[in-house]
Amino acid sequence: MNSPEKKGKCRHRTPALPPGVAAPFRKIPRLRTLLTSAALAALLPLHALPASASIFDTPAGGWFWYESVPDEAKDDAANKAPIPPETAESADESPRLTVGWLRRNAQKFLDAAIDRPTRENVLAWFYVQRLMQDRASAFAEAAQSAVEGNPLVDENFRRPQASFAQREFDRNAALEGDRLLRSLSKKAGIVFFFRPDCPFCRAMAPKVAALSEEYGFPVLAVSLDGENLVLEGKPLFRNFRADSGQAAMLGVTAVPELFFYTRERGFVRAAAGAMTSGELRDTILRKASEGGLISPEEYGRTRLVIAQDHEDELREGILRAWRRMGKDQAAEGAAGSAGTEGGKER
């Protein structure tokens, strides 16, 4: 029974009160005696108690007439504590309604509108929404104008956006791929490693045979257990041989697996695992490019997106914008400082 090593591959076998609570109650008779003193009784707010109430039934005083006295020093310290940045910002009478300010404070407007749905609070939330939507619309229009015709960021330069142009583009890429595969078959053969009892090998083998028939690739099928692969009662590969160390030499640990073979470059790994015919075709072209069997430019013409290398221009544009933003922030900071000093003078 075969257990796949990974998807599309077959593994190659190489009730009383507690003392602390009861003790205070033993002091109650003595306290009652003390309360009979006229001097002490004059100090108690007895006028606040109902006539039928007992001092022992007053929860406000607690069981032992203990009340915590506010710490005036702590209250003063709390009053003198610095205002958090967000509170200070919200207290600003005329904040600059930047995107950052709106992002930080939008939730506060929504919370106020839900907690206290007055006409003013609800409208304020919708004003915030409208302002943010208007900013987003202005950005979208500016982005479209800036991107159009710019080869660094306009996707139309990488792949046409019009449907008729896409169809033509895809057709040319497919024709170029077919041409390269036919050219490749004249200088490279395919070595296909399989095992007859592997279900993925049995699914891939007809695709490998079709690739050979369509583009002319010579295929050498290598069976890991020495038996040919039979489909519908017929052997699939006429040119096959039993593995005699080739799999170990190339590091084959799972099947199916394909290799290119050329006299100049030897073996180049081409594809591994089960895949569709289109995936097999694209993988072979990519691996042929990586292995130096076709040029990167040739491979690029088979892709559905035009590969472009604009890293230097992109880096320069980013750094130029970064320096400009730094200057703008410095100018805004200087203007804000001048306004603050002017306000103090007045």
Which string of DSSP letters, residue by residue, matches 7-34? TT-EE----PPPHHHHGGGGGHHHHHHH
Say which amino acid occupies 183.
Answer: S
Q: In the chain, how long is the greatest CA-to-CA distance? A: 123
* Mean pLDDT, rounded, for 58-77: 49
Winning range, highest mean pLDDT, from 85-94, 240-249, 324-333, 336-345: 240-249
Confidence (pLDDT) at 332 = 75
Confidence (pLDDT) at 318 = 84
pLDDT digits (tens, 9 = 90+) for 265-295: 889 888 898 899 999 999 999 989 988 889 9
Look at residue 310 and tell me whether its pLDDT is greater than 90: no
Share of the chain above pLDDT 70, in %: 70
Confidence (pLDDT) at 123 = 95
Report angle CA 325, 326, 332 to the nearest 5 degrees: 90
Confidence (pLDDT) at 95 = 83
Between 84 and 328, name the one with better pLDDT.
328
- Split at pLDDT 50, 70, 90, the class of 154 is confident
Average pLDDT, the chain: 76
* Mean pLDDT, rounded, for 55-63: 47
Give the least confident one: 20-24, 140-144, 221-225, 303-307.
20-24
Confidence (pLDDT) at 159 = 85
Encoded tokens for 229: 């692969």
pLDDT digits (tens, 9 = 90+) for 88-127: 454 556 788 888 999 999 999 999 999 999 999 999 999 9
**Burial degree of 85 (CB within 10 A; 0-12, 13-18, 19+):** exposed
Upper half-sphere CA count for residue 214 (Cβ side, 13 Å): 13
* Mean pLDDT, rounded, for 245-259: 91
Look at residue 240 and tell me whether its pLDDT is greater than 70: yes
pLDDT digits (tens, 9 = 90+) for 20-56: 444 443 444 443 443 344 333 333 343 444 444 444 4
Question: Between the CA of residue 267 and those of 46, 153, 216, what are the distances in Å?
Answer: 105, 40, 18
Look at residue 60 and tell me whether its pLDDT is greater than 90: no
Look at residue 146 and tell me whether its pLDDT is greater than 70: yes
Confidence (pLDDT) at 153 = 85
Confidence (pLDDT) at 11 = 63
Say which amino acid occupies 267.
Answer: F
